Amino acid sequence: MDIALMGIGKIAQDQHVPAIAASPDFTLAATVSRHGSVPGVAAFSDIDSLLAARDDISVISLCLPPVPRFDAAARAIRAGRHVMLEKPPGATLAECHALHRLAEAHRVCLFATWHSREADKVPVAKAWLADKRLRALRVIWKEDVRRWHPGQEWIWEPGGMGVFDPGINALSIVTEILPHDIHLTSATLDVPENRQTPIGAELTFYHPEGAEVSAVFDWRQEGDQTWTIVAETDAGTLTLADGGARIKIDGAAPPPADDTPLSGEYPRLYAKMARLLARGGIDMDLRPMVHVSDALALGHRRRTAPFTE
């Protein structure tokens, strides 16, 4: 199936283009970008030009920053195209709900992707936690913004989410692996004096069975990067490390699964999109974004030193 990719930035070049190239389900037939392109692939500078010229392309994958994404997604859906959304699915919850209603009205598929849920050991963690009583869960998500988001000024502007851009990856895993829903109770946000969005965050959550659930996000990490989730239960302690790529239970790695699932977060996302297209419908889990929205609403702002690249 022919697919178009809109927003040819770092994440598109690093992840989406290789995943589509390796996919048995999709062929990259066009790109939409004001600045980037993919060699050998038809390039358009705006979504309207693509929609007018290529009615043979039925699927559009959007890798734009969150703020301009709604307009492009709405135009594609109104034109009868199926849409795949890079995380987060939008800048606000309201526009995500609007896209959901629009996709229903036009009977097209809409997929809000959470790539970190596709990390190798996330399904293992979910299965292990399913029948355990949680006592505590701690998220430590610390990375160097200069290394992973160089020159991306949009992340510091309203709607860019700041440290929640990577932090929402952790929240997407937590909401996937826990058998019970949680909700935010308090937050402290570190906001640089010269920026609009936080560079660090400390979160606490309510758990219906009384477990202590917390998260620390920080974009000022130097040296080793940390993407870890630790869950203490009545039957032992589970640790997900490297963003869900590695798992240990009471310090030991569980035996590998017998099957050989598709490798890589983004290849798995495109395989899921193919299955969604086959059955029809909408996959739009907004729980990770709800937590971010709640943190931005409840969070106490702490002004910190100016940030410069």
pLDDT tens per residue, range 185-233: 999 999 999 999 999 999 999 999 999 999 999 999 999 999 999 999 9
Q: Model confidence at 254, in pLDDT bands (50, 70, 90)?
A: confident
Mean pLDDT along residues 88-101? 97
What is the mean pLDDT of the segment spanning 237-241?
Answer: 98
Residue 258 has pLDDT above 60, yes or no: no
Within the chain, residue ranges assigned H as helices are: 10-11, 17-22, 47-53, 66-78, 93-106, 122-129, 145-148, 164-177, 265-279, 287-298
Mean pLDDT of 17-34: 96
Pair of tokens at residue 33: 């970008």
- Assess whether the previous peptide bond of 88 is cis (omega < 30° from 0): yes
Phi-psi region of 172 (alpha: psi -120 to 50; beta: other; left: phi over 0): alpha
Question: Can you tell me the mean pLDDT for 62-81?
Answer: 96
Structural domains of the chain, ranges and CATH numbers in brackets? 2-112 (3.40.50.720), 119-253+292-304 (3.30.360.10)
User: Is residue 10 annotated as a catalytic residue, yes or no?
Assistant: no
* Mean per-residue pLDDT of the chain: 95
Q: Is the pLDDT of residue 161 over 70?
A: yes
Q: Is 161 left (phi over 0), alpha (psi -120 to 50) or beta?
A: left
Q: How far is CA 79 from CA 29, 147, 166, in A?
A: 17, 38, 32
Question: How confident is the model over 109-133, as a mean pLDDT?
Answer: 97
Which of 10, 87, 126, 248 does the annotation list as catalytic? 87
- pLDDT exceeds 70 at position 257: no
Q: CB of 19 within 8 A of CB of 264?
A: yes
Q: Is the predicted pLDDT of residue 259 greater than 70, yes or no?
A: no
